[in-house]
Chains A and B, each alone.
Chain A
């Protein structure tokens, strides 16, 4: 057999050791994850999307926000029992959003802390963003859970599904 190039041998050794260390570390680390990607099905019956479970709950504990379907969202909207948070950018929000929703861009979460602290932590909250192609609603829901809100759901169908269903919307002037 031809002798392996020493440089290539060293590269292979580094990669193999990293792989072994990485995989064994998962058994020891408090936040260890599984080797196989765990996924979760999100969305309504007609429009399901497979997302990695870490998108919903990267800390890998069981206390994650939950998915909520269009019909449930609509019911809660009509009864006024839930607070709606629009996780998109202000530009998108101004163009049009679910009626009575409050704009709370996911990446500017820290800026909203003073407002959030004034709320009741048992308040039912629904987050949404554009639709199944965005993660902002998941991120915002995870952040709210982490902050201590007890009842947080994300509406994965988001703005697109709401718009198609022709449910109440409003645009800011």
Chain B
């Protein structure tokens, strides 16, 4: 129910932005979204970069990846998040970073949905690796969908040429 409201919101925003195509406010708004999303990904990457072992453990809890890929993804994924975050903030390679972020979010959403479906109960390891972070649930999916919506808006913006 809440999901459909969110989707409608994103769609309405896109229409609104299309109308505001040439508007200065739309540009400022999208720039803020781009920098905000980038900063969020930088923040999310730091804890994982500092402690890849803990992050590997979190990934292993999802029971999705085959064992040989576990360490490799725990090593590469946080750096990809950091780099994409920096790319968005500084607006270099931003469209590529935005697409990569959308891809990561999509995979995260699938992983969370799968683990909820299978009844696994553990910390999601999204922003912080400590157990104090809230467990996974619909809220996490909504958070990720909202970010995915932002990448959609940004991609729309990049596509119509305003790499601002």
Contact = CB atoms under 8 A, between A and B. Distances in A.
Contacts of A52: 56-57, 60, 67, 70-71
A29 interface: yes
Contacts of B71: 33-38, 52, 54
A99 interface: no
A33 B69 CA distance: 13
A103 interface: no
A66 interface: no
A10 B79 contact: no
Given A36-B71, A135-B61, A31 B83 contact: no
B75 A26 contact: yes
Which bracket fits the contact residues of B? 35 or more
B121 interface: yes
Contact of B100 (A11, A39, A57): A11
Interface in A1-52: 7, 10-11, 13-15, 17-19, 21-23, 25-26, 29, 31-39, 50-52
Which bracket fits the contact residues of A? 35 or more
A76 interface: no
Interface string B73-88: 0111011101110010
Contact of A14 (B54, B57, B68, B80): B80
B50 interface: yes
B54 A59 contact: yes
Contacts of A31: 50-54
Contacts of B72: 35, 37
A62 B67 CA distance: 21
B14 to A, nearest CB: 21
Contacts of B87: 14
Given A31-B51, A31-B53, A58-B53, A18 B79 contact: yes
Nearest to B45: A18
A150 interface: no
Contacts of B67: 37, 39, 50, 52
23 contacts: A11-B99, A11-B100, A14-B83, A14-B87, A14-B93, A14-B96, A14-B100, A18-B79, A18-B83, A21-B79, A21-B83, A22-B76, A23-B75, A23-B76, A25-B79, A31-B53, A35-B75, A50-B67, A52-B71, A58-B57, A60-B53, A107-B135, A110-B131
The 3 A-B residue pairs with the shortest CB-CB distance, nearest first, are A10-B96, A18-B80, A18-B79
Interface of A: 7, 10-11, 13-15, 17-19, 21-23, 25-26, 29, 31-39, 50-52, 54-55, 57-60, 107, 109-110, 135
